[in-house]
A and B are shown apart, each in its own frame.
Chain A
Amino acid sequence: MIRICEISIKHSYDGAPGSFTGKERDTESGNDYFGARYYASSMGRWLSPDWAESPSNIPYAILSDPQSFNLYSYGLNNPLKNRDFDGHSCDPDYSTTDKNGNMVVHAGQCHLDWWDIPGHAWVGFGNIITGQTPKQVWTGVKQMFYAYSVALPFGQIGVSLGAADGLISLGLEADGAAGAAGEGAAVEAGAQSVDVTKGNSVKNWKTNASPDQVSKTLESNGFSKSTTADGRIQFTKGDTQCTMYPKASSTGGPSMQVKVGGEVVSKVRMK
């Protein structure tokens, strides 16, 4: 028989819900109390492995997500997106497709919203959880990133910034045209693009233009936009296709592939 023992721990609490995701901070140890476990923000890890009331080799494991096998990581190792709100690992977001073919993102149990973060400076965002278009969801994600990036350095202070400042901090300022229409689209003609091709590989470009800038340039040059159910964006004009990849495995940054006649002719690393 397994007996669950509840142990009452008296902890010295600083009284302000201003620590990581607003949880109580123990002033003596500096750890944050989430209920099920203590979190050491100095290490970015839980102090103890995750546990479950019912016996389990790996509590709360999600077989499709190896990050869930780490019993000490917070928010499936993606604190920008997830939270372990009660100290246990929990379900991430998932998406479905409605009858019109639009992607609908549903918040998992551990979904982190911008309003969950102390010190966030941003108000007036829509709810990015359900029933919105991929564009709206993407916008929400960027805004969430902004809120988080502000929250970390400033803690509970809170900073009041306007929309324009936010865009600049996200690197969306207009610092040069992304390029013109036509083959290689858009980016090869970019004002500040560099050829970083090695060997006999397809052409590799590096540009300081952001995906948004490139997208706008493509659309203004007559490319039609389509989006897959998982949010991948593709622009098409004639036999030229430009596909956006939000996170390349090599750089972790956004990139784009340009195909002409079904054959990849160039790749672009974006800002």
Chain B
Amino acid sequence: MTQWISDDKQFEELFLECQTCVFIDNGREPTSLIRLSFDDAGICTRSFAALLQKLLEWSGDTNCFYVVLRPDPVHYFHRLFGKYPALEIGSGITPEEYLSALNQGPEQSPADAVGTNYAERVIVSPSLSWFVHSYQSSGDTDGHLWIPSEWVDRVAAIYPDAAVVASA
């Protein structure tokens, strides 16, 4: 199941969690997680959808949230479309459902789909035991997956693109 977030309070809490993720990724907050780098474009692929499901399974989360932080979620997206650029992604969805949700734009502007119009995005789970932070990039290392160290080999086996450890 995937669904848009339109509740102000829920998004506010989610946004704060995303900010924490950004701070961790930027080295402004300590963490025990390990960072793997991958091509940010990979987030919109079937293989990444499969990885997400595995991450949910390992962390015991029943869902995670895909949030676009730039363009501005409030002053741009919510102002224009009345909802936030955030999707709840449930465990058990197929890669096709995942891709469809990311490419489902607001009716008025399909090109504003959250999987298309983004400069910075976060995927965060309620347990905060793992997260993804990425910048839109033409390079291949601007997607950052933060996971517990014991998951590194498992992730590498499922998603070889993220096998290179950039920093701890």
Of B17-25, B55-63, B99-107, the stretch lying at the interface with chain A is B99-107
A264 x B138 contact (CB < 8 A): no
Q: Mark A55-95, 1 if CB is under 8 A from B, else 0.
A: 00000000010000000000000000000000000000000
**CB-contacts of A139-190 with B (<8 A):** none
**Does A238 sit at the interface, judged by CB under 8 A?**
no
**B45 proximal to A (CB < 8 A):** yes
Given contacts A199-B164, A243-B111, A259-B103, 7 further A-B contacts (CB under 8 A): A64-B75, A201-B41, A229-B80, A248-B138, A259-B116, A263-B46, A267-B39
Could you tell me which A residues sit within 8 Å of B by CB distance? 64, 97, 101, 197-202, 204, 226-230, 232-234, 241, 243, 245, 248-251, 253, 255, 257, 259, 261-264, 267-269
A201 and B100 CA atoms in complex are apart in Å by 21
Number of CB contacts from chain A to chain B under 8 A: 103
Instruction: Tell me if B's interface is mostly helix, strand, loop or mixed.
Output: loop
Residues of B within 8 A of A233 (CB): 111
- Residues of chain A lying within 8 A (CB to CB) of residue B141: 250
- What is the 8 Å Cβ interface bit string for chain B, positions 41-60, against chain A (1 contact, 0 not)? 11011100000000000000
Given A199-B164, A241-B116, A264-B45; A226-B140 close (CB under 8 Å): no
Contacting residue for A226 out of B72, B111, B142, CB 8 A: B111
B140 touches A204 (CB 8 A): yes
B112 touches A228 (CB 8 A): yes
Cross-chain contact of B45 among A198, A202, A268, A269 (Cβ < 8 A): A202
Contacts of B41 in A (CB 8 A): 201-202, 257, 264, 267
12 residue pairs bridging A and B, Cβ less than 8 Å apart: A97-B80, A201-B42, A201-B140, A204-B138, A229-B80, A233-B111, A234-B111, A249-B119, A253-B138, A257-B41, A259-B103, A263-B99
A234 touches which one: B38, B116, B136, B160 (CB < 8 A)? Answer: B116
- Is there contact, CB below 8 Å, between A201 and B38? yes
B contact residues around A198 at 8 Å (CB): 140
Bin the interface of chain B by size: 35 or more
| The residue from B72, B112, B163, B164 contacting A64, defined by CB atoms under 8 A apart | B72
Closest to B110 in A: A226
Q: Among the listed A200, A201, A243, which residue makes an inter-chain contact with B116, where contact means beta carbons less than 8 Å apart?
A: A243
The yes or no answer to B76 lying at the interface (CB within 8 A) is: yes
Cross-chain contact B103 with A262 (CB below 8 angstroms): yes
Bound-state CA distance A227–B116 (Å) is: 12
With the chains together, A228 CA to B68 CA distance in Å?
A: 15
Known A229-B109, A248-B137, A253-B138: A264·B44 in contact at CB below 8 Å: yes
